[in-house]
Amino acid sequence: MMKKKPDRVTAYMIIVAVIFTLLISRLIYLQIIKGDYYRSVAENMGGKEINELASRGELLDRNGLKLATNKQSFNITYANINPKQKNEEINSTLIKVIRIIIKNGDADKINTQNLPIKIEENNYSFQFNTTSEKLKITLEKNFKKKYKIDENLDAKSTFLTLSDNFGLTEKDDNGNIVLKNDLNMDEIQKLISLRLTIKEVGYSQYKTVYIAKNVSKKTAFSIQSKSEELPSIICKVDPMRYYPNNEVGSAFLGYLGKIDESESELYKSLGYDISRELVGKLGLEKTLENNKDLNIALRGEPGVRYVQVDKYGRIIKEIASLDPIPGDTVKTTIDLKLQKVAEQALQDTMRKISTGEIKTDEPYPNANRGAAVVVDVNTGEILALASTTLKSSPDDPSYDPNLFVETGSIKDPVIVKKLFGDPNVKDIYDLNPKPMFNYATMGSGPPGSTFKPLTALAALEENVINSSTIIDCKGKYDQYRACWIWNEQHRGHGPVDVSKALQVSCNYFFFETASRLGYERFANWAWKFGLSSNPQTGEAPYTGIEIDEKPGDVSNPFKYKIKYINSAMNEIVKTLSETKYGSIAITKGTQEYKIIEQMLLNGEFDEKQLQKLQIDSNTSQGKKAVDYIKRKINSFESQANSRGELLNAAIGQGSTLLTPLQMASYISTLANGGTRYKLHLIKQVLNSDGSVKMDIQPEVINKIDIDPQNLSLIKSGMAKVTEEGGTAASAFQNYSLPTAGKTGSASVSEGQKNHGRAAYGWYVGFAPVDNPKIAVAVVIYDAGHGGYVAGIARSIYDAYFGLNENSAQKPNK
């Protein structure tokens, strides 16, 4: 055994004992003596993850003027810091906040959307932001289910149950449950709504609940200064969308709205906070929200701050943060000045027509909605895109996207009804103006005579007429159709050539021309200009615009067939079920049905196909059936290809329906000599630091071969329209700039007329005639005549070419 030093080992043991005694006594002190204190500290210290929304990318006009930007807004939020808070604690905090907000005049900013119960005097009723009774019932059911309320309870009982759940009731002397009387009804309603919102978000610590959005600075400071008394309440500064020009440009800008249930999965997967983020709903805001195809995202990437908060919910330390990345800035092709002029001119003209300020042949009181599109003919850039409804007074609510920026929806039911229409009112004749509807891109209507230049061009190019072709307009063309002059003055235009025909808009000339041209060649030219489906593939027409569009289609056999196939099939099914045809039962959706349907669409009768369906000529009944089907296919085919359809289409009527945007595209293509550019709204995309992310170059969809002589013939005809004797002469009287155009007065059926509809007033044109720069397409519904709306084009030319500044300033003259 070695020689040891027992004294030192003992000393060592003592040191060990001292160390552990120290540690243990400290732990006793912390964990046992101070444990309760620190446990509560720990609960209150719960860290928070605050999502910082990125500021949304700006939308600019072509000169850099702001169309959509952001401003700072003060938002009062509830941070769910301590999930174990008692009813009384939460209520007392919230009621304090509610009172501060009301005192500072921001009562209407409080988030009351989650309590769908309206209380007036002592009447309780469910109130949902819809007018459809069916939807109301569903929403009420969903609401009760969500908060576990008995389905059979009425509004009042529901309200009391909720109040009870949130500790806002007490027992009165008789033992009945009544509301606590220290709060007034308004406060209780607001409080319950906030409690529901908080509950909805659940106990997730990291979700922010908005108590009030976009409150005044005064409110924000009042809240901030009392933060000691208001645990869990945080005043946040967030970017909020702002449209400095209000309703100007709303047609292509769109607005921000709440994420719908149907979109929630998609946006969740993209990392959106679906409970509070707003997303683009229409226009560019929607298209560019997060567009992977175009590689443009207005949303940007949200940042996050990991913070420590004290028991008052105040941030005491930031642990880590990731700055948000602002969205892309998008410079549009729009010229704000022109856009304003277009919208104002539409508004003024609608007012003048509907009030009779413009002398019209008869009153057109429903000329209260319309659109205008201006396109740069050499690039396809859209310089202005307006869709406007008539304001009955300057304060009349219109589609101002600023209305949605706070919450993504509008609280005032009157404004909602005004903007979105009343679903209880059936508007089968499409009479009611719809401010949210984009008449420029979605609203297709018969283009009437504005289509005639294309008919003329097709006929010239296909050599069925030439510059010297003279057709004698006798007024009445056939049993069903006549020139407009016949209807008005019971006479004809007399001998007209193509140029004159355009100038005076002679129907007779175009009936005859189309008749010579034939359906196939006619439809093919319409397709070349983007006004008709591809005759080979059936591909629908498009202009190329980035935002949603719903282009119409020029009447063509296929379109006719699609339109009438169902009624034709119904007839066939019904007839075949008769005993004399052998009681053949065919149900929709079956193979048999599809085979017959396909035959009708192709216009080809195929007996072998029918035999496969056990329909054969061996029996007398079978023979009858086969013959019937054959007859039916032939007649359907000839109806679809009927001369009548073609003649109507030649003057822009019949089943031809086109959008103003398509018309602008077609006129632009015509003006520049046949280059069909992709219409576009985006000129340039900038990174948040201002550097250029991408430049959008003009894109050619189609280059149409047009004989220059034919082109100039059409152009001169269109130029004459604006000259003395032309249908738009009065609008362009003494105009210094030579322009070309065409009016269109697309008539509606007698049935529609009886319900207040009138002819669509169209004007399409380009300027200057010799070296075209811009093309314009304008429509006002129920305006009666295209001549009445031509003035809008003139105002646009004035603004674009800097003419008659004075007269443009005084639209009333």
Partner 1 sequence: MIINKKLFKNIDYSIIFSMICITVLGIITIGSATLAITSDGISMSVLKTTVFQIVYFIVSLIIGFFILMVDYNTIGSYYKILYAGSIFLLIVVLAVGSVRNNAKSWLGIGPFGIQPSEFAKITTIITLSKLMEDMDNINKPKNLIKLIIVSIIPMGLIQLQPDTGTNLIFFVTIIGMLFMAGLDLKFIYGGAIAAIISVVGIWKLNILKPYQKDRILVFFRPEMDKLGKGYNALLAKTAIASGKFFGTGWAGGLTNGKFIPESHTDFIFCVFAEKWGFLGAMLLFALYLNIIYKSIRIANTSKDKFGFYMIMGIITMFLFQILQNIGMDIGLMPITGITLPLVSYGGSSLLTSIISIALILNVGMRRQKINF
- Piece of the chain touching partner 1 by CB under 8 A; list 16-24, 115-123, 618-626, 666-674: 16-24
- What the block records as the tokens of 103 is 């005192």
Q: What is the dihedral of CA 285, 288, 291, 295, to 10 degrees?
A: -160
- What the block records as the tokens of 257 is 């709205």
Size of site (CB under 8 A) for partner 1: 38
Going from the C-alpha of 17 to that of each of 10, 13, 21, 92, 753, the distances in angstroms are: 10, 6, 6, 52, 105
> Quick check: 19 binds partner 1 (CB under 8 A)?
yes
Closest contact distance (angstroms) between CB of 40 and partner 1 is: 8
Amino acid at 201: V
* CA-angle at 207, arms to 202 and 210, nearest 5°: 95
Q: Which is nearer to partner 1, 16 or 177 (CB)?
A: 16
Going from the C-alpha of 657 to that of each of 143, 531, 551, the distances in angstroms are: 43, 9, 8
Q: How far apart are CA 95 and CA 193, in angstroms?
A: 12
Closest contact distance (angstroms) between CB of 48 and partner 1 is: 9
Q: How far apart are CA 372 and CA 381, in angstroms?
A: 14
Q: Which is nearer to partner 1, 317 or 703 (CB)?
A: 317
> Quick check: 9 binds partner 1 (CB under 8 A)?
yes
Q: Which is nearer to partner 1, 16 or 470 (CB)?
A: 16
- Piece of the chain touching partner 1 by CB under 8 A; list 52-60, 314-322, 325-333, 755-763: 314-322
> Quick check: 28 binds partner 1 (CB under 8 A)?
yes
Q: Are 198 and 80 in contact (CB under 8 A)?
A: yes
Binding partner 1 (rule: CB under 8 A), the pick from 124, 147, 306, 628 is 306
Q: Which is nearer to partner 1, 43 or 723 (CB)?
A: 43
Pairing of strands 682-686, 329-332: antiparallel
Binding partner 1 (rule: CB under 8 A), the pick from 24, 322, 585, 692 is 24
β-bridge mates for residue 764, sequence order: 742, 777
> Quick check: 268 binds partner 1 (CB under 8 A)?
no
- What the block records as the tokens of 768 is 């200057």
Residues 43-62 interacting with partner 1 (rule: CB under 8 A): 43, 45-47
Q: Which is nearer to partner 1, 24 or 700 (CB)?
A: 24
Nearest to 369 by CA among 798, 780, 745, 785: 780
Pairing of strands 329-332, 59-60: parallel
Closest contact distance (angstroms) between CB of 313 and partner 1 is: 15
- What the block records as the tokens of 177 is 């449950």
Q: Which is nearer to partner 1, 207 or 213 (CB)?
A: 207
Residue 713, helix vs strand vs coil: helix
Closest contact distance (angstroms) between CB of 374 and partner 1 is: 51
Closest contact distance (angstroms) between CB of 229 and partner 1 is: 21
Closest contact distance (angstroms) between CB of 314 and partner 1 is: 11
Closest contact distance (angstroms) between CB of 1 and partner 1 is: 7
Binding partner 1 (rule: CB under 8 A), the pick from 31, 225, 321, 392 is 31
> Quick check: 425 binds partner 1 (CB under 8 A)?
no
Binding partner 1 (rule: CB under 8 A), the pick from 16, 177, 185, 425 is 16
Q: Which is nearer to partner 1, 28 or 700 (CB)?
A: 28
Binding partner 1 (rule: CB under 8 A), the pick from 27, 185, 237, 540 is 27
Binding partner 1 (rule: CB under 8 A), the pick from 12, 142, 490, 598 is 12
Closest contact distance (angstroms) between CB of 10 and partner 1 is: 10
β-bridge mates for residue 52, sequence order: 303
- Cα torsion 517, 523, 525, 526: sign: positive
β-bridge mates for residue 494, sequence order: 473
Helices (H), 653-775: 660-671, 708-721, 750-753
Residues 317-336 interacting with partner 1 (rule: CB under 8 A): 317, 319
Contacts for 150 with CB less than 8 Å, ≥ 6 apart? 144, 157, 161
Binding partner 1 (rule: CB under 8 A), the pick from 42, 394, 689, 805 is 42
Q: How far apart are CA 798 and CA 791, in angstroms?
A: 10
- Piece of the chain touching partner 1 by CB under 8 A; list 8-16, 363-371, 615-623, 762-770: 8-16
Q: Which is nearer to partner 1, 38 or 221 (CB)?
A: 38
Q: How far apart are CA 91 and CA 110, in angstroms?
A: 15
Closest contact distance (angstroms) between CB of 21 and partner 1 is: 10
Amino acid at 443: G
Q: Which is nearer to partner 1, 32 or 428 (CB)?
A: 32
DSSP state of 658: B
Which H or E element spans position 241?
strand 233-242
Binding partner 1 (rule: CB under 8 A), the pick from 14, 137, 185, 316 is 316
Helix and strand numbers, DSSP H then E, in the chain:
27, 25
- Cα torsion 658, 663, 666, 667: sign: positive
Q: Which is nearer to partner 1, 46 or 535 (CB)?
A: 46
DSSP state of 327: P
- Piece of the chain touching partner 1 by CB under 8 A; list 17-25, 342-350, 440-448, 623-631: 17-25
Instruction: Give the position of tokens 């707003």.
Output: 278
| Crossing angle of helices 155-165 and 185-201, rounded to 10° | 70
Q: How far apart are CA 658 and CA 502, in angstroms?
A: 20
Instruction: Give, rounded to a whole angstrom, the gap between the first and last alpha carbons of the chain.
Output: 124
Q: Are 531 and 658 in contact (CB under 8 A)?
A: yes
Q: Which is nearer to partner 1, 19 or 137 (CB)?
A: 19
> Quick check: 37 binds partner 1 (CB under 8 A)?
yes
- Piece of the chain touching partner 1 by CB under 8 A; list 40-48, 98-106, 450-458, 759-767: 40-48
Q: Which is nearer to partner 1, 28 or 137 (CB)?
A: 28
Q: Which is nearer to partner 1, 12 or 221 (CB)?
A: 12
Closest contact distance (angstroms) between CB of 67 and partner 1 is: 39
- Piece of the chain touching partner 1 by CB under 8 A; list 37-45, 108-116, 164-172, 177-185: 37-45
Nearest to 662 by CA among 443, 449, 471: 443
Closest contact distance (angstroms) between CB of 207 and partner 1 is: 13
Q: Which is nearer to partner 1, 13 or 692 (CB)?
A: 13
E strands in 425-466: none
Residue 547, helix vs strand vs coil: coil
CB burial of residue 518 (10 Å; 0-12, 13-18, 19+): middle
Binding partner 1 (rule: CB under 8 A), the pick from 23, 237, 425, 540 is 23
Q: Which is nearer to partner 1, 50 or 686 (CB)?
A: 50
Q: How big is the chain, counted in residues?
A: 813
> Quick check: 14 binds partner 1 (CB under 8 A)?
no
> Quick check: 269 binds partner 1 (CB under 8 A)?
no
Q: How far apart are CA 240 and CA 235, in angstroms?
A: 15
- What the block records as the tokens of 806 is 């004075």
Which H or E element spans position 763?
strand 760-767
Closest contact distance (angstroms) between CB of 394 and partner 1 is: 53
- Piece of the chain touching partner 1 by CB under 8 A; list 15-23, 230-238, 411-419, 628-636: 15-23
> Quick check: 274 binds partner 1 (CB under 8 A)?
no
- Piece of the chain touching partner 1 by CB under 8 A; list 33-41, 575-583, 643-651, 759-767: 33-41
Radius of gyration of the CA atoms of the chain, in A = 35
> Quick check: 540 binds partner 1 (CB under 8 A)?
no
Q: Which is nearer to partner 1, 23 or 185 (CB)?
A: 23
Q: Which residues bind partner 1 (CB under 8 A)?
A: 1-2, 4-5, 8-9, 12-13, 15-16, 19-20, 22-24, 26-28, 30-32, 34-39, 41-43, 45-47, 306, 308, 316-317, 319
